[in-house]
């Protein structure tokens, strides 16, 4: 029972973190029709910014929580204005190539600026320590991660359904020409969307920093994970991203405890199985 609960809690916080990352990816894809290969690198950038703020500058965690996503979003704006916006009207392959180039640039820049050693960030004072449930010890911080994930999910849902900015973004997503005709500044919206997606990834990085070690392979790991989430859940679907993230979280959480030898390939086997049965993901639609 104890192991089961521990695995369950692990699955949850991992899954919710993956959801946060996948959501940003989905938003960018939904509006810009671009798969942001650099998404993991942006997440990593957020984590490193957190490390700089907390570990090097001694700033409080809560400040980093706000500042890091803003920094990442700012970087994203620069990249979008300089490079990405030139290829929106080109073939999908070109946008894939470009975000892959962005991945290389950001990934390597992070290595350059911060070096390749692994860093640890402690959770903020209020969220340290563990609590016990059903005999299993679990970090308090993990609850914070789950809470943040839910907050992000609900916040985004409210944003897209209740605010004007959100509705404008959805309009631009569904019909670019029409949006232009009714006066929406589509290029500005696109920049905003990319910044939003990047900011969420950066937020994920800050939130994840005290939970996982900060190292140069972070970006690579998380982007592969988010692809698996999105493939399982379905590209472009929010509930799909949630479902996919929880499934992958469960695969990791339970797989690492009960099937440790297969732990590496289990996510890919899961992905392959979903692909065979439901090629567009559990809740996805074909990408137009």
- Chain contacts with another protein (rule: CB under 8 A): 29, 35, 37, 83, 86-87, 92-94, 96-98, 100-105, 107-109, 112, 220, 223-224, 227-228, 230-231, 235, 264-265, 268, 271-272, 275-276, 279-280, 287
Q: Measured from the CB atom, is 39 or 138 closer to another protein?
A: 39
Q: Smallest gap, in angstroms, from Cβ of residue 105 to another protein?
A: 4
Q: Measured from the CB atom, is 181 or 276 closer to another protein?
A: 276
Q: Smallest gap, in angstroms, from Cβ of residue 154 to another protein?
A: 27
Q: Measured from the CB atom, is 60 or 279 closer to another protein?
A: 279
3-class DSSP assignment, residue 58: coil
Dihedral pair phi/psi, residue 139, rounded to 5°: -65, 140
Can you tell me the distance from the alpha carbon of 132 to that of 37, in angstroms, rounded to the nearest whole number?
Answer: 39
Q: Measured from the CB atom, is 5 or 96 closer to another protein?
A: 96
**β-strand 130-133 against 136-139: which pairing, if any?**
antiparallel
Q: Of 245, 249, 223, 220, nearest to 234 (Cα)?
A: 245
Q: Smallest gap, in angstroms, from Cβ of residue 126 to another protein?
A: 36
Q: Smallest gap, in angstroms, from Cβ of residue 92 to another protein?
A: 5
Cβ pair 230, 224 in contact under 8 A: no
Q: Is 14 left (phi over 0), alpha (psi -120 to 50) or beta?
A: alpha
Q: Residue 178 class from Cβ within 10 Å (0-12 exposed, 13-18 middle, 19+ buried)?
A: exposed
Q: Smallest gap, in angstroms, from Cβ of residue 203 to another protein?
A: 23
Q: Smallest gap, in angstroms, from Cβ of residue 77 to another protein?
A: 16
Q: Measured from the CB atom, is 154 or 217 closer to another protein?
A: 217
Q: Smallest gap, in angstroms, from Cβ of residue 80 to another protein?
A: 12
Can you tell me the distance from the alpha carbon of 128 to that of 130, in angstroms, rounded to the nearest whole number?
Answer: 7
Q: Measured from the CB atom, is 68 or 271 closer to another protein?
A: 271
CB atoms closer than 10 angstroms to residue 87: 17
Give the angle 155-20-220 at the CA atoms, nearest 5°: 155
Q: Measured from the CB atom, is 92 or 188 closer to another protein?
A: 92
* Element housing 37 (H / E): none
């Amino acid at each position: 029972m104890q192991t089961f609960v521990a695995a369950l809690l692990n699955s949850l916080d991992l899954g919710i973190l993956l959801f946060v990352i996948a959501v940003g990816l989905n938003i960018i894809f939904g509006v810009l029709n671009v798969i942001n290969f650099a998404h993991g690198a942006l997440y990593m950038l957020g984590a490193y910014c957190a490390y700089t703020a907390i570990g090097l500058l001694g700033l409080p965690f809560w400040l980093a929580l706000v500042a890091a996503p803003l920094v990442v979003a700012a970087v994203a704006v620069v990249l979008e204005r300089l490079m990405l916006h030139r290829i929106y009207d080109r073939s999908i392959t070109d946008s894939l190539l470009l975000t892959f180039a962005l991945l290389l640039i950001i990934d390597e820049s992070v290595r350059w600026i911060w070096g390749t050693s692994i860093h640890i960030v402690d959770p903020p004072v209020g969220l340290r320590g563990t609590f016990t449930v059903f005999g299993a010890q679990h970090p308090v911080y993990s609850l914070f991660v789950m809470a943040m994930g839910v907050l992000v999910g609900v916040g985004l849902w409210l944003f897209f359904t209740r605010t004007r900015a959100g509705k404008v973004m959805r309009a631009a997503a569904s019909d670019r020409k029409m949006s232009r005709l009714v006066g929406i500044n589509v290029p500005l919206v696109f920049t905003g969307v990319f910044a939003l997606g990047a900011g969420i990834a950066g937020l994920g990085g800050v939130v994840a920093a005290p939970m996982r070690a900060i190292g140069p392979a972070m970006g690579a790991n998380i982007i592969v994970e988010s692809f698996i989430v999105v493939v399982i859940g379905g590209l472009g679907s929010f509930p799909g991203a949630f479902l996919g993230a929880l499934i992958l979280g469960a695969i990791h959480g339970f797989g690492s405890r009960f099937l440790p030898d297969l732990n590496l390939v289990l996510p890919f086997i899961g992905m392959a199985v979903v692909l065979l049965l439901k090629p567009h993901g559990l809740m996805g639609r074909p990408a137009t």
